[in-house]
């Protein structure tokens, strides 16, 4: 799956974050800021949230169509999450990379691990809010999930964080404008906080459970 070395190739950047961290917000800002970067619009079988647009945020498809795409090997990677399915269009991504375009994909940890295997040269970025308490607040402020669904996403967040070591960089999304600068620095210059050097961050992250800020 790795691209032949002799062709011009763009770079693949994977951005992962616990749901509610602010990833969509940051991704939209990065795409405005870096016109040469293209976004891989995933396929999903979940329902659109208010304001989401088919073909821009996701390609919203049925479970039947998703399964047909799995059978047709149309996905670079796919994963089952929260009882729904999410997948990355293989042909679209490979074509952009062949054209020399840089591609940003928003994937869960399982998707990031698949990309790491398929394309060892991809850059994997994990984003987190400053504390788990702040993650909870952002999830509830978004008001797009029920309390039960938000709880499932918090449990999922702990599992994702446990698998953080596959990532190259940690991006702490505290102030949005700083986070944008961090993301741009990683994409343009390969400069960021290496995940391997950020182990001291996590005890404080989990220490703040519910305290109001």
Q: Does 167 bind ligand 5GP (CB under 6 A)?
A: no
Q: What is the DSSP string of 40-98?
A: ---EE-SPPPTT--BTTTBEE--HHHHHHHHHTT-EEEEEEETTEEEEEEHHHHHHHHH
DSSP state letter for 21: S
Residues 48-87 within binding reach of ligand 5GP (CB under 6 A): 77-79, 81, 86-87
Quick check: 108 binds ligand 5GP (CB under 6 A)? Answer: yes
* Site mask for ligand ADP (CB under 6 A), range 87-126, x = bound: ----------------------------------------
Q: Is 126 in the site for ligand 5GP (CB under 6 A)?
A: no
Partner in contact with 77, chosen from ligand ADP, ligand 5GP, none, beta carbon below 5 to 8 Å by kind: ligand 5GP
How distant, in Å, are the alpha carbons of 7, 73, 101, 183 from that of 4?
6, 20, 15, 27
- Binding window for ligand 5GP (CB under 6 A); candidates: 102-110, 163-171, 181-189, 195-203: 102-110
- CA distances to 19, 91, 95, 141 from 22, rounded to whole Å, are 8, 28, 28, 11
Q: Which is nearer to ligand ADP, 142 or 163 (CB)?
A: 142
Strands 123-128 and 169-172: parallel
| CA atoms in the 13 A half-sphere facing the CB of 174 | 7
21 binds ligand ADP (CB under 6 A): yes
Binder among 31, 68, 162, 176 for ligand ADP (CB under 6 A): 176
Neighbours of 115 (CB within 10 A): 25
Which window, 61-69, 89-97, 117-125, 175-183, contacts ligand ADP (CB under 6 A)? Answer: 175-183
* Token pair belonging to 195: 């995940």
Site residues for ligand 5GP per CB under 6 A: 16, 19, 42, 46, 77-79, 81, 86-88, 106-108, 110-111
């Amino acid at each position: 799956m790795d691209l032949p070395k002799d062709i011009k190739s763009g770079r693949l950047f994977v951005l992962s974050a616990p749901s509610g961290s602010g990833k969509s917000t940051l991704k939209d800002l990065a795409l405005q800021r870096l016109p040469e970067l293209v976004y891989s619009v995933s396929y999903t079988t979940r329902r659109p949230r208010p304001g989401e647009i088919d073909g821009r945020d996701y390609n919203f498809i049925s479970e039947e169509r998703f399964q047909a795409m799995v059978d047709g090997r149309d996905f670079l990677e796919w994963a089952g999450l929260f009882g729904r399915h999410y997948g990355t269009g293989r042909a679209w991504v490979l074509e952009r990379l062949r054209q020399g375009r840089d591609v940003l994909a928003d994937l869960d940890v399982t998707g990031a691990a698949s990309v790491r295997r398929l394309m060892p040269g991809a850059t994997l970025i994990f984003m987190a809010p400053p504390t788990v308490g702040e993650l909870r607040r952002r999830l509830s402020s978004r008001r797009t999930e029920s309390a039960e669904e938000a709880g499932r996403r918090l449990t999922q967040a702990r599992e994702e964080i446990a698998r953080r070591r596959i990532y190259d960089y940690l991006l702490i999304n505290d102030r949005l404008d700083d986070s944008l600068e961090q993301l741009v620095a990683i994409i343009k210059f390969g400069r960021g906080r290496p995940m391997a050097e950020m182990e001291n961050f996590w005890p404080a992250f989990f220490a703040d459970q519910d305290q109001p800020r």
